[in-house]
Amino acid sequence: MWYKRGNGMDTRISGGERRRALMLSSLGGGLEFYDFVIYAVFADVIGQTFFPSGNAVANLLAAFTVFAIGYLARPFGGIVFSHFGDRFGRKNMLRISIAGMAGATILMGLMPGYAQIGIAASILFVLLRIVQGLSLGGEIPGAMVLITETMPERRGLACGVLFLMINIGLLLAHVVQWALVSTLDPAQILSYGWRIGFLVGGAIAFLGFVMRAQLSESPAFAEMESDAHKVPLAMLLQNNMRGVIAGVFITGMGAVIVSMFYLYFDTYVTTLLKYPHASVAAASIVGIIIFSLPMPLAGWLADRTGRLRLPTFIGAGLLLVTCLPLYIWLGKGPGNVMAVMAILSILAAFAWGPTPAVLTAIFPTDVRFSGVAFTYNIGFAVIGGLTPLVSTALIHWSGNMLWPAYILLVFLALGLVATAVVKLKGR
């Protein structure tokens, strides 16, 4: 039993409650992330269904613009969810976030296309994408905060498990895509196949909403609840501005990794490099597995050594010096796709796996949800959300296929510097 005393009261939480908090937060995060990224893996057919223009590149740019809109909605969701999470508790915000994601995803799967209802289809689809973004803006930061406050002495391992489960949601999205493209022809995928992925994800996320009724409140929040700020974000920006700036760049490093390798990679390799779909889909699935499995190990290493930043320095440093040569190798032919993805993924696991634990340690309890949500969502919205769109536009403008590697280099360097200089005060 974990025990802590504060504010004149005792806070106790059993080992079973800790494990349940980790399982339900992680499982829900994985299901909700599936719902968010299923859009990216079907971006080409979504562009044809809701934003037709008669030009393949224009369709893709329109689809990724809406993808970016979902990301850009995340900071607003993070502000709303974290405001109430820092004032009234973490657990209820996690139930509301997954409910919003489930509802929006199911409706997207049922939405008539442009051919049926014209511009209304495009507008409604964008609005539902915004709801997805708002929901995810509260989901992952809320899960990070709840589990690290419930298991502060094993913060690195907890975040490693959380992001392993989130990546299982990402993997599931790619598996569903692979299963559909392997069993249906392109016309069937365009007609109804992509909708199956949305409906399955929405239904599973609804199940996660039901299961989260069993969540317990964070013991750290229970201690300081009576001292909660009326406007936590204002206190965050007033007293923790250096941590906010560092947190954005730390998150940006993870955002560019996830966006480039696991959301944009399929489109980059098939649409722009013109490689076969089947081999690329298999490489993406293998890459996500390799990316995910070492994450708890990286987190355990951070806890065990007492150096929360050590795995990040190792993984991100090696990724920094190898990403450009690997992208050059990728461009030599489709036979290199699997090997490049495997190498990128093992380095990315150590670069990103325990890094969210660093993010939660930057901020004190009274503004932790606000700090994590604000920095995490700004990083993913601006860097992760715009990366596919900017990469596609720069390649189209310049003809240089190495722009993804150049963008990776910039944000890996910024993230490493921010990780090195930021002070940890929340352990």
In terms of pLDDT, which residue wins out, 266 or 23?
A: 266
What's the pLDDT at 8?
A: 42
pLDDT digit string, tens, across residues 73-86: 888 888 888 888 78
In terms of pLDDT, which residue wins out, 51 or 223?
A: 51
Taking phi over 0 as left and psi of -120 to 50 as alpha, with beta for the rest, 14 belongs to: beta
Whether 213 shows a pLDDT value over 80: the answer reads: no
Cα 261 to Cα 163, 180, 347, 362: the distances in Å are: 15, 21, 12, 27
Q: Which DSSP string corresponds to 40-82?
A: HHTHHHHHHHHS--S-HHHHHHHHHHHHHHHHHHHHHHHHHHH
Whether 33 shows a pLDDT value over 80: the answer reads: no
Q: Which helix (H) or strand (E) holds 4?
A: strand 2-6
pLDDT, average across residues 219-243: 78
What percentage of the chain exceeds 70 in pLDDT?
Answer: 91
- Tell whether the torsion through CA atoms of 72, 77, 83 and 85 is positive or negative: negative
pLDDT, average across residues 316-322: 95
Residue 13 φ/ψ, nearest 5 degrees: -145, 130
The CATH architecture to which 12-421 belongs is Up-down Bundle (1.20)
Whether 153 shows a pLDDT value over 70: the answer reads: yes
pLDDT averaged over every residue in the chain: 84
In terms of pLDDT, which residue wins out, 63 or 392?
A: 392
Q: Give the lowest-confidence range in 261-270, 292-301, 327-336, 344-353.
A: 261-270
- pTM score above 0.75: yes
pLDDT band of residue 14 (cuts 50, 70, 90) is low
pLDDT digit string, tens, across residues 345-396: 999 999 998 888 899 999 988 888 889 989 988 888 888 878 888 898 899 8
**Taking Cα atoms as reference points, which of 127, 148, 140, 149 lies closest to residue 169?**
140
What's the pLDDT at 346?
A: 95
Name the H helices within 293-381.
Answer: 295-305, 310-330, 337-352, 355-362, 368-378
Q: At 255, is the secondary structure helix, strand, or coil?
A: helix
Vertex 357 angle, CA 17 and 416, to 5° = 170
